Amino acid sequence: MRSRLLLVTTLLAGAISVAGCGNLPFLSQGNPQPTASPAAAGDAATPATQPTAAAEQPTQAPANTPAQTIPTAPQTGGAPSTPATGDGAPTIPLPQSQANLAQLESYHITIVSKMNGKTTDGKTIESQMTYTQALHRPSKTGYTLVVENRQGAPSTQSELYSVGDMLYIYQRQGGKELCQPGMMAGMGDMLRGIADAMTAPLQTGTAQLVNRGETVNGVLTDRYTLDQETINQFGATVEKADLWVARDGGYLVKYDLTINVTSNTTGWAEMLGGGAPISEGTIVYNWSLEDINKTTITLPSACSEQTVGVDLPLPAGTQVDMAMPNTTMGKVNAGIDSVLTFFKTEYPKLGYELTYEYGDAQNGYILKFKKGADEVMVQFSTVSDGSVQITLTRG
């Protein structure tokens, strides 16, 4: 049981740590904050039929209520109007990457972050992360893929599926598919938090209208560019900073950012060099919302065939905290003697024979039951808050 729990914890921690190591540039007040960045290339490309992890902030503006007012001009036959240019062009507050997505039935977001440059001793630096997240709201299914490629290091990949609050950590090794499911309290909020951290290219500032009526990823949008005051927050030379906002719905459809970095560019230089002094470099960030209301997600058979938890009774009032393959963990506010009595009384009624008993009220108990070929081990002990922690393991 401990080895199974350790595997889930380790893999999940690895996936979350990817969200914490920074490559994604996003705006903040003052110095740039390196944030989690998306994964890289090659076989990491996720087809439109393979969406990602739940990526929706429940606190975002409800459907059909854009977080910002987008200036529009009358359209004739959908043709773009004359581009708005100059200091007098209309501006909008920057839309958050997750804003107003609740109105969409499904979508997937692709983010690519590339960094390249040279160190002061002439060595090249190259890395890329590609992050894909997809959501299919009707089935409450999500998919997340994070791939990272760094020069001189093997590619790393984290792949997660979610169905409701059930998380599946998926791996392919040596031609075999491996899937480790687990249910944890607050898992949905945790995944949303990771997704929000990794897909937030904008935090503060405003953007100036460039052109109305551009179709991007099948969506009618208005194109904006970051205004000078907002660009100044980067503390670096911004070569490109364009974003496309949906005319109907007010959500971000596309965002392209290119930053040129020198040895004097505080924050960005350290992030690019990874500790090595750099002479010059470029950071390119591309964010794209795609396959809107066309995305589907198929849970791999290695995950869908998993049996999660142990389908056997627990003492009344037991709160299940985690369910994994052939394992259920929970706790109950009851005395340890009453828990012992429950298992020794109720399981024989179901045809299970008690074959092993060890422990005491102070240190906890281990019970083993057998019914034909079915073997179940029950472990329970009193924890610091006075409740009894219970673990059921089959096999």
pLDDT at 260: 92
User: Which of 31, 8, 22, 36 is closest to 193 using CA atoms?
Assistant: 36
Tell me the per-residue pLDDT of 53-102, one tens digit each, with 9 for 90 and over: 333 333 333 333 333 333 333 333 333 343 444 456 789 988 888 889 99
Is residue 129 within 8 Å of residue 39, measured between CB atoms? yes
pLDDT at 22: 38
pLDDT at 331: 94
Radius of gyration, alpha carbons of the chain: 26
| Contacting residues for 7 by C-beta, under 8 A, at least 6 apart | 180
Tell me the per-residue pLDDT of 130-184, one tens digit each, with 9 for 90 and over: 999 999 999 989 999 999 998 888 889 889 898 877 788 888 888 888 887 765 5
pLDDT at 243: 94
| Contacting residues for 264 by C-beta, under 8 A, at least 6 apart | none
Scan for tokens 């394992």, then name that residue: 327
What is the residue-wise DSSP string for 89-153? S-EEEPPPTTTTGGG-SEEEEEEEEEEEEEETTS-EEEEEEEEEEEEETTTTEEEEEEEEEETTS
> Mutual orientation of helices 2-20 and 187-198 as an angle, nearest 10°?
30
To the question of pTM greater than 0.85 for the whole model, the response is no
Please give the residue that has the higher pLDDT: either 35 or 347: 347
Q: Percent of the chain scored above 70 by pLDDT?
A: 71
Confidence of residue 253 (pLDDT cuts 50, 70, 90): very high
| Contacting residues for 226 by C-beta, under 8 A, at least 6 apart | 94, 205, 206, 207, 208, 238, 241, 243
pLDDT exceeds cutoff 90 at 352: yes
Name the least confident of 5-14, 302-311, 328-337.
5-14
pLDDT exceeds cutoff 60 at 283: yes
pLDDT exceeds cutoff 70 at 235: yes
